[in-house]
Amino acid sequence: MSFITRRRAVDQRPATQGEHELRATLRWPHLMALGVGAIVGTGIYTLTGVGAGLAGPGVILSFAIAGGVCTLAALCYAEMATLMPHAGSAYSYSYAGMGEMVAWIIGWSLILEYTVVCSAVAVGWSGYAQGFLAARGMDLPPGLAAGLLAGQAGGLVNLPAVLITLAVAGMLLVGLRESANLNLGLVVLKIAALAAFVALTLPAFDPERFTPFLPFGFSGQVGPDGAPRGVMAAAALIFFAFYGFDAISTAAEEAENPGRDLTRGIIGSMAACAVIYMAVAAVAVGGSPWQVFSESGEPLAFILRSGGHDLAAVLIAAVAVVALPTVILAFMFGQSRVFFAMARDGLLPRALARISPRGAPVRVTVFTGLLAAVIAGAAPLKLIAELANAGTLAAFVATAVSMMILRVQRPDLPRPFRTPLWWIVGPLAIAGCLYLFWSLPALTRWLFLGWNLVGLTVYLLWSRRHSVLAGR
């Protein structure tokens, strides 16, 4: 069988014994909290301002477009996750639907996605942490406040971003169930803070701030820095704010009742977050001139301070400092499970798939934490978020394609959740993702291509010969 097309059977369970076996300890509330914890984070707390700078009040439309594409993808994910309740997410789905080489490319893209998402959220967290410390008269030295590549004068390393990344990695090593319970509590705190923001900002809502609604048009405009502007440019960036439900699918092996728990977790987290995001974005634009808050690294706290709610601004910054690490936790969890699945299949060194007595894949978690810390310490938020989006869009396309292939080739398979109108939802999800990918800056697309060329080289030289399927 060709290494390009060899597939793992849909109903074939991976070799999961002893040190390569994950424990089923999660129920749907844990999974839904994992999804909400991953989705509600830097995207709404920080990228609301960046998106408004790209699209003006039209950022609300950007949120709607990005959310719509993610909803289509979430329906495909829900079917595939319940059909194949294994660790690995889109990597595993591609392995069954399109073959090993495509699966490798998607897995390699997921490694990029999850690692740089951890880094991006850490940088966003650092902005709120520094704002919170500055309000207490404790400013960090410039050399420790921003990364070397962030373009900030005197910046050498973003120390807070590095520290929080390593702290979350340590928390995951303690154990999954313990981390999930803590995550559930922090997610509740995070949602309460956003509800308070809406309630306090709403009285200052001014409809005139929505005019003109599309100052930079829908797409195609280029800003002074040469980067694209408009609704689609913002949607391609804000897309970062919506995904996170795919991290739930990486926990498929650890769900007690995959058919029920994964469906509720994926669909429930997307529905809840879509409502939250639209409300927060609309109130933010109506509560403060977008030209002003788009320049802030902590836009929600800035809007509250502008409205005279100084104490609330301090509190929401404090909540961001406490609760944003739930996003890092969710994506670092997802990265370690994708890495684990690829190592268990022999595409990466199998020693990486070893599980600790507490049920954590120690080596891949440590590696992920260190790599994410290095990126967070050096790079700016916008570049990291866009690069993460490229990897995610590739995974979403692969999941939708795999879902459609298996619907045609294996219609007999038992599917606990079936994507409604799959012949419409699947193609729309693919088209939406490709359009968002093309809306990313050219530099991001080239970096993504370069990353996958490196990955393809690794596969051809090493992984294809060590694959578990290579010996069959």
Q: What are 62's two structure tokens?
A: 């950007």
| 194, 276 contact by CB (below 8 A) | yes
Whether 404 is covered by a domain: the verdict is yes
- Measured N-to-C along each axis, helices 47-55 and 59-83 cross at an angle, to the nearest 10 degrees, of 130
Strands (E), 189-236: 221-222, 228-229
Residues in the chain: 472
Strands (E), 391-442: none
What mean pLDDT is reported for the chain?
Answer: 82
| 343, 104 contact by CB (below 8 A) | no
Whether 1 is covered by a domain: the verdict is no
CA distance 118 to 121: 5
Tell whether the model's pLDDT for residue 259 goes beyond 80.
Answer: no
Cα radius of gyration rounded to whole Å, the chain: 21
pLDDT the model gives residue 220: 63
pLDDT the model gives residue 359: 64
pLDDT the model gives residue 17: 46
Mean pLDDT of the region 342-370: 81
Q: Token match 């639907």: residue?
A: 97
For 56-70, 239-253, 263-277, 390-404, which range has the lowest pLDDT when averaged over its residues? 239-253
pLDDT the model gives residue 347: 93
Tell whether the model's pLDDT for residue 18 goes beyond 50.
Answer: no
pLDDT the model gives residue 358: 65
Q: How confident is the model at residue 377 (pLDDT cuts 50, 70, 90)?
A: confident
| 97, 401 contact by CB (below 8 A) | yes
Mean pLDDT of the region 132-152: 78
Q: 210 or 383, which is more confident?
A: 210
Q: CB-based burial of residue 151 (10 Å sphere; 0-12 exposed, 13-18 middle, 19+ buried)?
A: exposed
% of the chain beyond a pLDDT of 70: 89
Enclosing H/E stretch for 354: none
Sign of CA dihedral 163, 169, 173, 179: positive
| 45, 281 contact by CB (below 8 A) | no
Whether 2 is covered by a domain: the verdict is no
Q: How confident is the model at residue 400 (pLDDT cuts 50, 70, 90)?
A: very high
Q: What angle do CA 50, 51, 54 make, to 5 degrees?
A: 95
Q: What are 311's two structure tokens?
A: 């104490």
Query: Mean pLDDT: which of 37-41, 175-179, 365-369 is highest?
Result: 365-369
Q: 169 or 388, which is more confident?
A: 169
Q: What are phi and psi of 222, to 5 degrees?
A: -120, 130
**What's 2's DSSP letter?**
-
**β-strands 221-222, 228-229 pairing:** antiparallel
Residues 6+ apart with CB under 8 A from 225: none
Give the domain range for residue 281.
25-213+227-462
Q: What are 63's two structure tokens?
A: 């949120």
Whether 349 is covered by a domain: the verdict is yes
pLDDT the model gives residue 244: 74
Closest of 294, 375, 436 to residue 121, by C-alpha: 375
Tell whether the model's pLDDT for residue 472 goes beyond 70.
Answer: no
Q: How confident is the model at residue 100 (pLDDT cuts 50, 70, 90)?
A: very high
Whether 219 is covered by a domain: the verdict is no
Whether 414 is covered by a domain: the verdict is yes
Whether 220 is covered by a domain: the verdict is no
| 223, 56 contact by CB (below 8 A) | no
Whether 438 is covered by a domain: the verdict is yes
Amino acid at 205: F
Residues 227-247: tens digit of each pLDDT: 778 888 888 877 777 777 777
Amino acid at 232: M
CA distance 191 to 198: 11
Q: Within its chain, how far is the Cα of 64 from the centroid? A: 17
Amino acid at 59: V
CATH number of the domain within which 190 lies: 1.20.1740.10
Mean pLDDT of the region 198-221: 87
Mean pLDDT of the region 119-142: 80
Beta bridge partners, 228, equal 222
- Count of domains for the chain: 1
pLDDT the model gives residue 411: 92
Q: How confident is the model at residue 410 (pLDDT cuts 50, 70, 90)?
A: very high
- How many C-beta neighbours within 10 Å does residue 469 have? 17
pLDDT the model gives residue 386: 76
Residues 428-453: tens digit of each pLDDT: 999 988 988 888 888 889 989 999 99
Mean pLDDT of the region 237-266: 75
- As a three-state string, the secondary structure of 23-72 is CCCECHHHHHHHHHHHHCCHHHHCHHHHHHHHHHHHHHHHHHHHHHHHHH
Q: What are phi and psi of 147, to 5 degrees?
A: -75, 165
Amino acid at 331: F
Tell whether the model's pLDDT for residue 105 goes beyond 90.
Answer: yes
Residues 6+ apart with CB under 8 A from 138: none
Beta bridge partners, 455, equal none
- Alpha helices, DSSP H only, in 222-379? 231-242, 246-249, 258-287, 290-293, 299-306, 310-323, 325-344, 362-378
Tell whether the model's pLDDT for residue 256 goes beyond 80.
Answer: no
